[in-house]
Structure 1
Amino acid sequence: MTAVRTVPPPTSELITAVDRLWEAVTAGSEEAAGAVVFGALTAGAEPESVLLDVIAAVQARIGHEWAANRLTVAEEHAATAINDRVVAALAHHPVVRGAVRAEPCGRVTVSCVDGEWHAFPARLLAQVLALRGWEVDYLGAQVPTPHLVARLHRTAPVALALSASLAPRLATAHSAISAAQAAGVPVLVGGAAFGPDGRYARLLGADAWAEDARGAADRLAGGLVAPLPAHQPVDDLPHLADQEYTLVSRSAPRLVGAVMSGLAERFPSVRSYTEAQLQHTAEDTAHIVDFLGAALYTDDPDLFGGFLTWTAGVLAARAVPTASLLAALEVLRHELRDLPRAIGMLDHGRAAVTSPSAVPATVPHQYHGDPA
């Protein structure tokens, strides 16, 4: 395995570029954004640093500002779209083309899991790998697993880099990992869905995990071990035998409806909500059910507790009291009263939200936008 390189902190010039790019994307100026990025290249910045220390840094800031209610959904979308187009243009800049490693490394497929629309992290990785000499087959967002595996059979890459930003995609990611390995292709995973330390990557049997694009490129450079013989995903997770994950995931629409009906009794303020507020409440409830399902799939109460803590912080930034979230949990607890693991998850989540020492968890916020 190749040693992970020590990355120096961003220079003052790159930090200045971050501030200028932030101003450009939040002003909605693609021309200004391009000028910042191309100017940094012309001034001598490494293309990989521009991608990861400037563009990715601004993308992360977009997410934080949305969560804090300082950017609207439309502003978030506009800023992300500009960043995406700048990355695409960057690939054709003469400095970037001249920086591509001459010796080819092999072919790698980069893809998002089925159901994952947030392709920005995968796009950044694809560009970094191209800089380092890989032939990259970039498939983008929302790739159904059967089509992904068929593509692997046709192209025979040395590895699949699989991206997922949201924990509810873990079950689908697990199926994709197992299917790719059955096709003889080792799988490196990344993205916030797999946990800050890659714990869910190990749980789901991925061949490797990387925290960011640099780490992924370093890991691929060292080579991946051939995958284990084919096995069924359920073999990795014996707790799924209780069927609680399946019951919750399949009854998600009913559970959302039950919460929306029960909130009026437990949180009377909802009776005066506008249609738009009711729609947002239903969307938030659907996310709660989705993350409960992810926690049941991984058998990790902290996954659910962390999401609820983050959600409470986002709601507070929008002047929505925590009581509404707790009321939703009460309804879910009643609806799922016959499922002991689900009840345990819900109780753990309530304790996390109401703890005096609770701090907002770092959870991806891509429910209304795409700042990955």
Structure 2
Amino acid sequence: MKIVLAPDSFKESMSAHEAALAMERGVRAVFPDAQCVRVPMADGGEGTTEALVAATGGELVEADVHDALGRPIRARYGYVAAERLAIVEVAAAAGIDLVAPHERDPLRASSAGVGELLLDALDRGATRLVVGLGGSVTNDGGAGMMQALGVRLRDGDGADLPGGGGALARLASLDLSGLDRRVAGLTVEIASDVTNPLLGPEGASAVFGPQKGATPRVVDELDAALHTWARAIADATGRAVADEPGAGAAGGLGAAFLAFFPATMSSGVDVVVRAAHLEEKLDGADLVLTGEGAVDSQTLRGKTPFGVARAARRHDVPVIAFAGYVGDGAEVLYDHGFAALVPIVRSVTDLPAALADGPANLRLAVETVCRVLALRS
């Protein structure tokens, strides 16, 4: 029997890798000789790097970079040497969790640290890049990232602009002559479920700016500055990306990746499915086990279990999903390739206890399902 174990993380309880291990222990309690193939998953957000490193046999490496306020930090990303693949979450360098709420200032926050991560990956030999967009505290349209990669942003007097979204209001021209030439040789997959454009009422500033510390007045300033940035990008590259779906992701980093890199933007889970080679690992499988902290009707909107089920359906392999919480409307998933939805919490408890007991509860839930399956064998 071949069983593919492809869970996402169970937030605040266990990583995707830990969840896959718990599932394997549950399977082996009943089927000790089963072929268990662990494929930790993610959907482009938090945990994408760790999941892909575990699934591809890569390693976590560190680089000296700067956070959004210019302070030196050590940031991690994944690297798969055999594939010359770097896996980068922008939040590792420009994440909102790295900046205290009272320090958040999108007018001066810079994405330069993301560019520094990319430089480290290029120095390591990367020719492929998977980028998880999300969780940034910046709203500079990726300008800081491009400055770190060698692009010069100049004002009307020819002086270089400082970092931050506010400075873009003074942008007069872009000089791409210093852009690291290795960028052109990258193959870039952007993992994001955000479809917002760069500008306007549905854009980066209006939708995501307030959570990064922007007042209504600052939102207007940032949106106007990004209009200037978008015009400069179009003039310098010939690419009008402001209205592209996802251009507004991560404070506009999506726009920079689309404009300056040979990049494609896809659903986060689809990118992870490809990078983790899930389709190949499904070949010959009898069953797929997936899951995450909660499943409900929103799971259909690109969450990991839905992406796994969609891939499994193409191989005619049944899927069982496990979750800490099975919410309202989850039954709709039965129409999309799920054979069963299994809650893992075993008794009435509080949230801290449920989170702490997550790995044990998941193992026992998988073991119970396998005992039912064993009745048929």
**Pairwise TM-score range, normalised by the shorter structure:** under 0.3
- Structure with the larger helix share: 1
Query: TM-score when scaled to structure 1?
Result: 0.25
Q: Which has the higher contact order (CA 8 A, sep 6+)?
A: 2
Q: Scaled by the length of structure 2, what TM-score is found?
A: 0.24
Q: Which has the higher strand share?
A: 2
